[in-house]
Amino acid sequence: MIGIAPSEISAARRFDSLQSALEAAPADGDTPYSIFLPAGIYNEKVLVRKPNVHLVGAGRDETVIRYGDYAGMAAPGFPADSGEKLGTFATATVTVEATDFRAENLTIENSFDFLTTDALPKGHTDKVSGTQAVALETGLNSDRSAFRNVRLLGYQDTLFVQGGRSYFLDSVIEGNVDFIFGAGQALFENSDIVTRPRGSRRETVGYVTAPSTDIGNEYGLVFLNCRLLKADGVPANSSPLGRPWHPTTTFADGRYADPNAVGAAVFIRTFMDDHITGDGWASMRGTSRDGTKSTVFPPESARFYEYQSHGPGAQVNERRRQLTEIEAERYTRERILADWKAPF
């Protein structure tokens, strides 16, 4: 049973599912509505549509919200032979589409079996296409989303910060391909960012980040005093810090890679294990005006920087641009979060 204790109700209410507990929250709640999740595995796909919802688990490894949607699966509501696919944006185990969401002491996992399909050779009849599988999505209607002692677990596209501001403290995020991505503004402090292996041997295991930050936003993905670690099976020099994602967008003159999505990712005083590549960053292809994926966006076209990286994966060279001391002073919690004071 799931216990609910909104501030205006003295006795806890109980629900049989997390989503039903969320639906019981006030539509325009201006005080915290806390949902307590005892230890256990909650096999649910969850959508948060009401403000000031707080999810509190029994412990990061004891309370797990889990689901296994992936981009290439058949979209619900369409005929089986229609070819319609779910798509990346609809795969999240937990999607936040409201303000002032908070989660503590739990794990959010996308349980899609990435490794098995990734291990199959190209052309194998059982190989799945569309292996993007999001664990957590902070959507376009979200803002001021805060996470403490949370574990996000997936492989490709684990964390999608699509919009708003989000703050991660003392947390763990695991994945491999573009596993922290999107246009939202996200601050990560004192957190472990763990690269997981692929199902088959390859030179590049994945990319830690793939930001698509709008050029009008100074901050995108910012990592302060974090650790970039690797799981067993991840080789040295196999994981760039990130690559610039320019989402295919519809404009008046056509559909092509958004030129204003000038991704920002900055690592400050961050430990880096030896899986981080010597060059640090990588290029990414985007949709050209003719519909092909022929446009290449080099890392130099994005806002990719470091400051005082350390560890075996840390290097200073012409490919790994460094902030000056004065520039680094702008990367404080107060500046990044602007008028929002983080709740912890």
**33: in domain:** no
Kindly name the residue from 69, 118, 157, 273 that is annotated as catalytic: 157
Q: What is the pLDDT of residues 189-247, one digit of tens each?
A: 999 999 999 999 999 999 999 999 999 999 999 999 999 999 999 999 999 999 999 99
Asked whether residue 138 is assigned to any structural domain, the reply reads yes
Q: How far apart are CA 272 and CA 184, in angstroms?
A: 24
Residue 255 lies in a domain: yes
Tokens 């930050």 locate to: 213
Rounded to whole angstroms, the Cα distance separating 70 from 133 reads 5
Q: Rounded to the nearest 10 degrees, how much is the dihedral formed by the CA atoms of 200, 194, 160, 104? A: 140
The DSSP annotation for 223-250 comes to EES-EEEE-TTPPTT-B-SB-----EEE
Which tens digit of pLDDT belongs to each residue from 144-202? 999 999 999 999 999 999 999 999 999 999 999 999 999 999 999 999 999 999 999 99
For residue 25, being part of any structural domain is answered with no
Tell me the C-alpha distance between 277 and 84, whole Å: 37
In a domain, 262, yes or no: yes
Q: What is the pLDDT of residues 39-83, one digit of tens each?
A: 999 999 999 999 999 999 999 999 999 999 999 999 988 877 788
* pTM score of the predicted model: 0.96
Half-sphere exposure of 92 (CA within 13 A, CB side): 19
Q: Which of 100, 118, 143, 178 is catalytic?
A: 178
Based on the number of CB atoms within 10 Å of its own CB, is 192 exposed (0-12), middle (13-18) or buried (19 or more)?
Answer: middle
Q: What is the pLDDT of residue 98?
A: 97
279 tagged catalytic: no
Structure tokens at 206: 């994945």
Specify if 9 maps to a domain. no
Q: What is the CATH number of the domain that holds 297?
A: 2.160.20.10
Residue 40 placed within a domain: no
Clarify whether 28 is annotated catalytic. no
Alpha helices (H) along the chain: 18-23, 114-119, 325-328, 333-337
259 domain-assigned:
yes
Domain range holding 258? Answer: 47-337
Q: What's the total number of domains in the chain?
A: 1
